[in-house]
Amino acid sequence: MRSRRAQRLREASIVRQALFDALTRLDPRYLLRNPVMLVTEVGAAFTSALALAAWSGGGEERAGFVLAVSAWLWFTVISANFAEAMAEGRGKARAASLRRTRTNISAKRLTATRHDAPYVVVPAETLRRGDVVRVDAGSLVPGDGDVIEGVASVDESAITGESAPVIRESGGDRSAVTAGTRVLSDWLVVRIVSNPGETFLDRMIALVEGARRGKTPNELALHVLLVALTIVFLLVTATLRPFSEFAASAAGRGSPVAMTSLVALLVCLIPTTIGGLLSAIGIAGMDRLIQANVIAMSGRAVEAAGDVDVLLLDKTGTITLGNRQAAAFLPVRGVTERELADAAQLASLPDETPEGRSIVVLAKERFGLRERDILALGARFVPFTAQTRMSGVDLDGRKIRKGAADSVEAFVRSLGGELPDSARAAVRDVGGRGGTPLAVADGNRVLGIVELKDIVKGGIRERFAELRAMGIRTVMVTGDNPLTAAAIAAEAGVDDFLAEATPEAKLRLIRKIQGEARLVAMTGDGTNDAPALAQADVAVAMNTGTQAAKEAGNMVDLDSNPTKLLEIVRIGKQLLITRGALTTFSISNDVAKYFAIIPAVFAATYPELARLNVMGLATPGSAILSAIVFNALVILALIPLALRGVRYRPVGAERLLRRNLTIYGLGGLVAPFLGIKAIDLLLAALGWT
């Protein structure tokens, strides 16, 4: 209840600020970047002058009519400004919460790259790239950097919103720390990688405020179209006055088109609806990403996400749960399953990895084998190394080992043993099912195979089916052998896979796909992912990843959830669909306004045009005012849709186009006829005609 009340208060505060900003943005210098609204504002100012002239008795039209047109034109501009201010306001609210995390931080700058080296206390804003600092428990990290010494738990809730601390340590893919986060335990020696004002937090604040959003290629193209249409209709309207004067003089009847009517006609001709909402749509798209805890480095990246053709998805943690679990004990001939389980459990007791713990649990569940105290038994633990690819225990003269089949085979051969054919067959079967075979040996005797399964995430197959319906191809990237990769790919429902993937292989694949004129999206967190991230069109770096990965990507996922890529694509497509739908609506609803306003504008000069008054509007003045009022109200009515986005459904492009043309194209034609007629009836009822 309290959180909902707080949310309502925040929203009310944003609305109040947006109303104030909408008025301050009436400055023509601000509207220069939006020519459609600038022309509307010039028209509003011009009609305001005409209203003053009419009040003094020198106008062409009734003062009340001119004043009403002027007021609604001002309302149109304010509504467009309000839409943009609302979109930016939500980003600024997020930026304000980020700014509160920035305090006057002092940093311990070391004179050498050692924890115990002498240090000098300096303000954090004086730190430069390359400086080395020590951060102790309870202190804030003074700048973005890489851990070069130490290991510590770090509270990153100020950035990510997640309360659970994370481990940061030197080396590997979890060495990056972010300015404004707090070290909770131990200490870290950090090499600063950003200059003042260039930290990740600084960039986040600038981006969520929209200050560095910039226009995307599609936005620029649409902007050029709107400018061109505005210029064309401006020229058309400017020529109507002399033509009408000539026509009235030649016919000897009627009067020239009034300037107020010409301004109203111009505003109704130019695409004011999309012109007023275009910027808000783009800013709101970025805001939806921020709500998903993703920071886009540019609006171009968000837009590209909507045009993505191929997704490169890492297997571990994205398609699968990431923690392989023991699924079965497969003994060789002459060995019982219980004997194999007992040896595998002994070898796994000191093993704290998820795989090792799952073997202990499976042996206990299947055969009631309880955990034993290795130290009490006098056993010596043999840890896993990248060279041996095995681990195990030495106990009572026994050498029990578990590990990769080829490594265990080499081990038993060194002791005079051999890998049985039944074990080789089990390795092939496990690999064919998408599992990982783990061989277990007791001295020179192979006991059997433990099957480890990398569990495919629930519902992932359905999500890939949705992407396929959208025309997006999915490619699983994994370091597994091709046989295992093929089995997991089939179970997950991906379209293709890249097995035994290296950084070079990923880069080659991305370039190959791009060479086919298709856009590629991928996720990554390690330094080895940086080349591929830099090459991809949409590159999502994990916040927990290395600085190199973050620098190479054009988006950062604060939650470090690899499946977020699917959500990013959905948001990108929603942005494009929203912009396309509202552009269709804006252009189509102008047609109805032509039927309302053109007969009214020229009725005095050409009475025969009254036949074109298909809506049966009361008077020319009522027709013009009704069109202007509808033009203003429709912008206000579409603000929630622009901020929320058009509802996205994962269907094919053709079906999606057909649906949007029906709803927003046909709807854009029908709605103004109904709306203008309703306003005209209201004006007539009030006697304002």
The DSSP code sequence of 56-113 is TT--SS-HHHHHHHHHHHHHHHHHHHHHHHHHHHHHHHHHHHHHTT----EEEEESSS
Contact between 602 and 244 (Cβ < 8 Å): yes
Catalytic residue from among 202, 287, 314, 442: 314
Residue 314 falls in the annotated catalytic set: yes
pLDDT of residue 211: 43
User: Of the candidates 46, 50, 49, 44, which has an alpha carbon nearest to the alpha carbon of residue 79?
Assistant: 44
pLDDT at 634: 93
* pLDDT single digits (tens) 315-338: 776 777 766 788 899 999 889 999
Q: Within 13 Å of residue 608, how many CA atoms lie on the same side as its CB?
A: 3
At which residue do the structure tokens 């600020």 appear?
A: 17
Q: In what order do the strands lie in the sheet with 473-477?
A: 294-296, 555-557, 538-542, 520-524, 310-314, 473-477, 496-498
Query: Are 287 and 90 spatial neighbours (Cβ–Cβ below 8 Å)?
Result: yes
- What is the per-residue pLDDT for 91? 66
Helices (H), 252-353: 259-269, 272-291, 299-306, 337-348
Asked if 86 contacts 639 with a C-beta cutoff of 8 angstroms, the reply is: yes
| Dihedral (CA of 639, 644, 645, 649) sign | negative
pLDDT, residue 374, reads: 64
How, if at all, do strands 520-524 and 538-542 pair? parallel
Pull the structure tokens for residue 322. 């990431």
Residues of the chain with pLDDT below 50 are: 1-2, 211-212
Is the torsion defined by CA of 128, 129, 130, 131 positive or negative?
A: positive
Q: In this predicted structure, what is the pLDDT of residue 103? A: 57
Residue located via tokens 């002092």: 106
Burial class (CB in 10 A: 0-12, 13-18, 19+), 569: buried
**Contact (Cβ atoms closer than 8 angstroms) between residue 624 and residue 601:** yes
Contact status, residue 320 vs residue 291, Cβ threshold 8 Å: no
